Amino acid sequence: MNPSPTPPDRDPHDHPPTAAGDAPATTAAEPVLSIPMDLPHDPVEPPDERERSTGVTPIELFFDLVFVFVLTQATHQVESHPGWSGLFQGMLPLAALWWMFGAFSWLTNAVRPDAVAHRLLLALTMTAFFVMGLDLPYAFDPDGWAFGLAFLVAVGMHVALFLTAAEPSARAGILRLAPFNAVGGVLILVAPHLSDVGTWVCWAGAVTVLYLSMVIGRIRGFVVEPHHFVERHGLIILIVLGESVVAVGIGAGGRPVDWKLAGGILLGIAVATGIWWTYFGGDDERTVRAMSEASVERRQMLGYVAFGLAHAVMIAGIVLVAAGISDGIHHLGTDTNRWWLGTGVAVFLLGHAWHRHVLGTGSIAARIGAAIVVVPLTAPLAGAGWATLATATAVLAAMTVADHLLQLRMALPSEAREPRVPRERQPTATT
């Protein structure tokens, strides 16, 4: 049977509508949501996006502000405990926090928080996230019980709000995802009360359960509205970048500004600008287009990998960049940590390259190349903070220019990229 022509305003990846009264057609490839509930599977088509308000709401921006405090605490944990132990004691709690924080981005994508009850519950959840941020330095100590308890409160709020979603498949999906989040929270709650080895095992297990839950549980059914989803994550990255700007002030604090310090501030802002340019240099429009053109189920996987996993890598990189900027400005002419700044830039670039690769929004060659060279270039210059800051700035600037040239080359028609071969002259006839 030949399908009817697809109207121009429909997603080309959606199934054609069935006639009134007909049972929805199923195919062998259609994913099945095997839960003991009478709920539908993946939606055949997303809700009409023209009828949905897609902008980020003020309550979401207000909610995101609490993440600034979380990042400040994670950065301070890394700075105050140099070494692998301090690094992971800052990064593992941050990873758990980002998973749950990102989950609320999915929530407000499915449930627009216009109702008073929704706003009040989000405000209450902010308290839970603030408690987690406040207790982050003690998350590995026996007194750090509040982190795990607040995490479980956030999980409960997330489920309660998601169950008000209009899409039945989303409600079914959250009921399958919630047990994994709860198990992660219980492991975090138990971890501080075990031996050192047990604490580390529980924390590593909790983060693993959280980040692999979508794969292990074969979770599906969430509907992603592309414009809101991309804008919300972009605003979160913008807020995260605020931590690197704050780091400039922290590194320069307690001293009158002279020409040397002003130069260090300029370099610190330049590094933060390079990170901003990498993320926001035109990719947002291409990302929205890639998400909009994807099928409903593929949108969910793109959201999980490109915005959940890859953004976790980018956020970890920004925390290290913030620590490196603060340390570099505080020790402009003396020894600085040789790994924080260069490693942070490299981790961020690798995360964004992963993000680009998954979405197919541009070349990743310049980002991979810059990530490879930035640590070897900055580490030997750790004897002076200004040198590491200047080198990181130069690498980011060179990467941006190279990427722009690659994008221009890819945009050219194939005929324009191929060198013109001169035509052979035909011999003239002689008489």
Residue 335 forms part of a structural domain: yes
Q: What are phi and psi of 377, to 5 degrees?
A: -80, -35
Q: Domain end: 174, 204, 223, which one?
A: 223
User: Do residue 69 and residue 203 come from a single domain?
Assistant: yes
Claim to verify: residue 187 and residue 59 sit in the same structural domain = yes
CA distance 322 to 345: 10
Q: What is the pLDDT of residue 108?
A: 93
On whether both 121 and 264 belong to a single domain, the answer is no
Whether 162 is in a domain gets the answer yes
Q: Which of 314, 402, 406 is nearest to 362 (CA)?
A: 406
Helix, strand, coil percent content, the chain, rounded in steps of 5: 70, 0, 30
Task: Let me know if residue 1 belongs to a domain.
Answer: no
- Residue 429 has, within 13 A of its CA and on its CB side, a CA count of 1
Q: b/e map of 255-274 (b: 16 or more CB within 10 Å)? A: eeeeeeeeebbebbbbbbbb
Q: What was the pLDDT predicted at 296?
A: 86
Same domain flag for 264 and 403: yes
Domain assignment of residue 217, given as a range: 53-223
Q: Is there a single domain that holds both residue 289 and residue 363?
A: yes
62 and 194 assigned to the same domain: yes
Spacing of C-alpha 104 from chain mean position: 13
Is residue 282 within 8 Å of residue 234, measured between CB atoms? no
Number of domains, the chain: 2
Domain assignment present for residue 246? The answer is: no
Domain edge (last residue) among 223, 249, 271:
223
Residue 272 located in a structural domain:
yes
Nearest residue to 103 (alpha-carbon basis) of 235, 188, 214: 214
- pLDDT at residue 148, rounded to an integer: 94
Separation of alpha carbons 307 and 26, rounded Å: 30
Residue 17: the pLDDT is 45
Clarify whether residues 295 and 405 are in a common domain: yes
User: Do 299 and 168 share a structural domain?
Assistant: no
76/215 same-domain check: yes
DSSP conformational letter for 176: H
User: In terms of domains, do 393 and 329 share one?
Assistant: yes
Q: Give the domain-ending residue among 223, 248, 282.
A: 223
Taking each helix axis as running N to C, give the angle between helix 116-135 and helix 145-162, from 0 to 180 degrees, rounded to the nearest 10. Answer: 160
Tokens of 235: 């605003």
Q: What is the DSSP string of 250-292?
A: HHHTTS---HHHHHHHHHHHHHHHHHHHHHHSSHHHHHHHHHH
pLDDT for the residue numbered 409: 80
Domain assignment of residue 265, yes or no: yes
Residue 380 inside a domain? The answer is: yes
If the chain, 431 residues long, is cut into consecutive pieces of 10 residues, what is the mean pLDDT of each piece?
45 43 41 36 47 76 91 90 89 96 93 91 94 94 91 96 90 92 96 92 96 86 90 93 86 84 93 94 88 91 95 96 92 85 96 96 94 93 88 96 86 53 51 43
Residue pair 73/212 in contact (Cβ under 8 Å)? The answer is no
Residue 6 falls within a domain, yes or no?
Answer: no
Q: How far apart are CA 340 and CA 385, in angstroms?
A: 11
Same domain? For 180 and 302 the reply is: no
Q: Note the pLDDT of residue 167.
A: 86
Same structural domain for residues 165 and 282?
no
